[in-house]
């Protein structure tokens, strides 16, 4: 059974990691996939080919999710190419970790803009489309760090906590139009981003996880698929952890 047959999805920050896994999972389940990243490069071309192999339409776009102008232009371009957008996954994100004592204003602003403002940008740009068609599922990528906090990540934690508040508010604003908005809060997931952590830090994370293993991008993609599909048609305004029971 293909859960997203005939749907069109937009996934930001999809060239690698969790975003790429979500794109592949959606294509496997019949969705046409538009995806964006800060650059359109060889990774983008490869992902287009991998997605098209599922027999769906796929196209990558270069777009800065932290830019309101870029985001509005992206939605317009996708509508020209795909005619509709049924699902939005706000996945673009970065880290600039440091203790507050040493954190610069530039590092604070960049993380807030890429992680949080991007969610505002894309959701605002796409809501007109979804309101008109009276259907849509918006999935925002938060983090357990946005729930629990984490030393050395005050900028990242603030951005991810903000996403949860935004998600719950948009769920209330758009729910009457048959548009759902939910968030996923991954824990320690093995990606290119977490691979940069020192081994000692990675081992400590895993020791704090009751399941004693890191998650995979596919673990997150499975939940994204559920939230994007009609299987979750009465789930709205929720922030769901994918963390193996982690408590920091």
- DSSP 8-state symbol, 50: H
Q: Is 126 left (phi over 0), alpha (psi -120 to 50) or beta?
A: alpha
Percent of residues, the chain, with pLDDT higher than 70: 99
Distance in angstroms (rounded) separating the CA atoms of residues 223 and 215: 12
Number of helices and strands in the chain (H, E): 9, 7
**Residue 204, pLDDT above cutoff 90:** no
* pLDDT, greater one: 46 or 196: 46
- Mean pLDDT over each residue of the chain, to the nearest integer: 95
Distance of CA 18 to the CA centre of its chain: 8
Distance in angstroms (rounded) separating the CA atoms of residues 10 and 140: 12
Residues 6+ apart with CB under 8 A from 203: none
Least confident among 82-91, 99-108, 190-199: 190-199
Domains of the chain: 8-241 (3.40.50.720)
Neighbours of 224 (CB within 10 A): 27
Distance in angstroms (rounded) separating the CA atoms of residues 150 and 203: 16
From 40, 61, 135, 156, the catalytic residue: 156
Angstrom CA distances, 55 to 14, 61, 116, 183, stand at 19, 19, 33, 28
Neighbours of 178 (CB within 10 A): 14
Which H or E element spans position 23? helix 17-28
Average pLDDT over residues 118-132: 98
User: Among this protein's residues, is 188 annotated catalytic?
Assistant: no
- pLDDT band at residue 210 using 50, 70 and 90 as cut-offs: confident
Per-residue pLDDT at 247:
67
How many CA atoms lie within 13 Å of 165's alpha carbon, on the beta-carbon side?
9
pLDDT digit string, tens, across residues 31-42: 999 999 999 999
């Amino acid at each position: 059974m293909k859960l997203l047959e005939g749907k069109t999805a937009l996934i930001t920050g999809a060239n690698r990691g969790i975003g790429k896994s979500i794109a592949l999972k959606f294509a496997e389940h019949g969705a046409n996939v538009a995806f964006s990243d800060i650059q359109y490069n060889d990774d983008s071309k490869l992902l287009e080919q991998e997605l098209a192999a599922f027999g769906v339409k796929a196209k990558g776009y270069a777009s800065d999710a932290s830019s309101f102008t870029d985001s509005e232009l992206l939605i317009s371009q996708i509508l020209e190419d795909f005619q509709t957008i049924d699902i939005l996954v706000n996945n673009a994100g970065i880290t600039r970790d440091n203790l507050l004592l040493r954190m610069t204003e530039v590092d604070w602003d960049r993380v807030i803009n890429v992680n949080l403002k991007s969610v505002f940008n894309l959701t605002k740009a796409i809501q007109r489309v979804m309101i008109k068609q009276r259907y849509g599922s918006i999935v925002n990528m938060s983090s357990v760090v946005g729930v629990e906090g984490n030393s050395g990540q005050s900028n990242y934690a603030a951005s991810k906590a903000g996403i949860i508040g935004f998600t719950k508010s948009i769920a209330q604003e758009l729910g009457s139009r048959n548009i759902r908005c939910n968030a996923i809060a991954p824990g320690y997931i093995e990606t290119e981003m977490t691979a940069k952590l020192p081994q000692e830090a990675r081992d400590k994370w895993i020791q704090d996880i009751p399941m004693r293993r890191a998650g995979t991008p596919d673990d997150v993609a499975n939940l994204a698929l559920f939230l994007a599909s009609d299987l979750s048609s009465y789930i709205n305004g929720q922030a769901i952890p994918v963390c193996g029971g982690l408590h920091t």
